[in-house]
Amino acid sequence: MAEMHAQRRPVGLLVKIYPKLSETFILEEILGLERLGEELHIFAMQAPTDAIHHDAVSQVEAPVTYIPEATVGNAWSLVMAHLGLMLYRPGRYLSGIRAALSRRGGLADFVRAGWLAHNLLRKGIRHLHTHFISRPADIAELVAKLGVPFSISAHAKDIYLSDPQDLQRKLKAARFTVTCTEYNRETLARIAPGADIQRMYHGVDAHRFCREHDHDTCAQPLILAVGRLREKKGFDTLIEACRRLALRGLDFRCEIVGYGEEYARLQQQIEREGLLGRVRLAGKLPREGVIERYNRAAVFVQPSRIGQDGDRDGIPNVLLEAMAMELPVVSTRVSGIPEVVRHEQTGLLIDPDRPADLAEAIARLMADAPLRARLGQAGREAVQTHFDNDRNLKLLRSHLENAHDCPRRAPLETAAHRSAGLS
């Protein structure tokens, strides 16, 4: 591993916030790429906002650098970085300014992009891979104008809440783009025909997400859901389904693990429907706490929908985690979810916003132990076959290796650069 690192320059990885509790797919990607021998340097636009983080963050070897915001306090660092770029590659610098002036908010992005480009060049990093095709890719596109090519991982909200013309521009500017579902890939391919866009499923470590004991299906079986408390997650549909299950006399508990802007509304719904003590919003939990819930659950529910603003899930990582834990799952026919949940084969699928159908599917699973076992086993097999983290990341690693093979550029260490105090 050390020898492999010595032969390569690191790849820059640009994210908005690092670490972030809800973005386990990024954490899994970082750990997976490092297991495959890739040397990374993480650049984040913001410091973490969560009070807790997953224990696995401590396993990441990559250094983390936070990009300074365009404030008076950071003026010296920002000005020196831009001065170095102006002296070292004035043509590219002017090209970057022109690109920034052509779009809204471009100058603020250019300030940070200049600092990032300077630091990438100074560290000999010749490629930048960015998560999300929204704001991080705006900055990465300007970094490319300044001399460091970029690529993109596109996911969900960043695709469906973005202007198609902006998406087209960034897709064509990127060396390549990977996205986590075939549904996403087809959407992006229609927007930017001819751009290099490939499907790369997110993956999970099936060794880590492995059932330790039989699920608790005795007294009060646990119905589990995990995700950000947002409209697109459809948790209000799950709460209404629980009301219907209670009216049928079923004994159960339901926990919804997560946090977000819908907390108050969902809590009011629980209280209004008389479900206190039966349905609980569990709040933020580290990965170990989530795994403990998977081990105790009887059924996992992912009631996703397309939000009024067009936002939607891709394939939620928590769905893959639950399936890897051999939990029988109920989910919806939304976006990429049917690519992993095959109705009656690896789980049960219903249409979104159908609480009666959701209640019926949950009741069916809770009443049929052989069905739970069959779907749970088939779900784990599907994850191991198609959503293995290291196997899927080999596609991204191959593309990043090709980026390493691009013509070498000298680090940013000219005499003019040194005279500006930047070496």
Cβ neighbours of residue 89 under 8 Å, at least 6 residues apart? Answer: 146, 147
Cβ neighbours of residue 87 under 8 Å, at least 6 residues apart? Answer: 414, 416, 417, 419, 420
Kindly state the tokens that stand for 394: 């080999």
pLDDT surpasses 60 at 386: yes
Where residue 214 falls among pLDDT bands split at 50, 70, 90? low
pLDDT surpasses 70 at 217: no
pLDDT digits (tens, 9 = 90+) for 22-41: 999 999 999 999 999 999 99
pLDDT surpasses 90 at 405: no
pLDDT surpasses 60 at 215: no
- What pLDDT is attached to residue 9? 81
> Counting beta carbons within 10 angstroms of the beta carbon of residue 277, is it exposed (0 to 12), middle (13 to 18) or buried (19 or more)?
exposed
Strand order in the sheet with 64-66: 64-66, 40-46, 11-17, 128-131, 150-154, 177-179, 197-199
Give CA–CA dist 251/123, Å, rounded.
60
Give CA–CA dist 133/172, Å, rounded.
12
Residue with tokens 């010296």: 76
Kindly state the tokens that stand for 63: 């250094």
Q: CB neighbours (10 Å) of residue 355?
A: 20
CB 19 within 8 A of CB 54: yes
DSSP state of 346: T
CB 321 within 8 A of CB 208: no
Kindly state the tokens that stand for 355: 């609480």
Sign of CA dihedral 26, 32, 34, 37: negative
Where residue 419 falls among pLDDT bands split at 50, 70, 90? very low
Where residue 2 falls among pLDDT bands split at 50, 70, 90? very low
Average pLDDT, the chain: 92
What is the domain partition of the chain in residue ranges?
2-203+389-419, 222-386
**Separation in Å, CA 363 to CA 249, 303, 319, 351, 353:** 11, 15, 19, 16, 17
The alpha carbon of 76 is separated from its chain's Cα centroid by a whole number of angstroms, namely 33
Among 46-55, 77-86, 133-142, 285-294, name the one with the lowest average pLDDT.
46-55
pLDDT digits (tens, 9 = 90+) for 291-314: 999 999 999 999 999 999 999 999
pLDDT surpasses 80 at 374: yes
- Compute the average pLDDT of residues 325-336: 98
Instruction: Compute the chain's Rg from CA coordinates.
Output: 23
- Phi then psi dihedrals of residue 259, to 5 deg: -145, 160
Among 258-262, 286-290, 402-406, name the one with the lowest average pLDDT.
402-406
User: Which CATH number applies to 2-203+389-419?
Assistant: 3.40.50.2000
Q: Classify 302 as helix, strand or coil.
A: strand
Give CA–CA dist 113/107, Å, rounded.
9
Give CA–CA dist 398/415, Å, rounded.
36
| The two domains 2-203+389-419 and 222-386 share their CATH topology (first three levels equal) | yes
- What pLDDT is attached to residue 218? 53
CATH architecture of 222-386: 3-Layer(aba) Sandwich (3.40)
- Compute the average pLDDT of residues 312-336: 97
The alpha carbon of 75 is separated from its chain's Cα centroid by a whole number of angstroms, namely 32
Q: Tell me how long the chain is.
A: 423
CB 203 within 8 A of CB 389: yes
Give CA–CA dist 89/19, Å, rounded.
33
CB 258 within 8 A of CB 227: yes
Q: Please give the single-letter amino acid code of residue 46.
A: Q
Among 91-105, 333-347, 397-411, name the one with the lowest average pLDDT.
397-411
- What pLDDT is attached to residue 410? 41
- Phi then psi dihedrals of residue 294, to 5 deg: -55, -45
Where residue 212 falls among pLDDT bands split at 50, 70, 90? confident
pLDDT surpasses 80 at 409: no
pLDDT surpasses 60 at 216: no
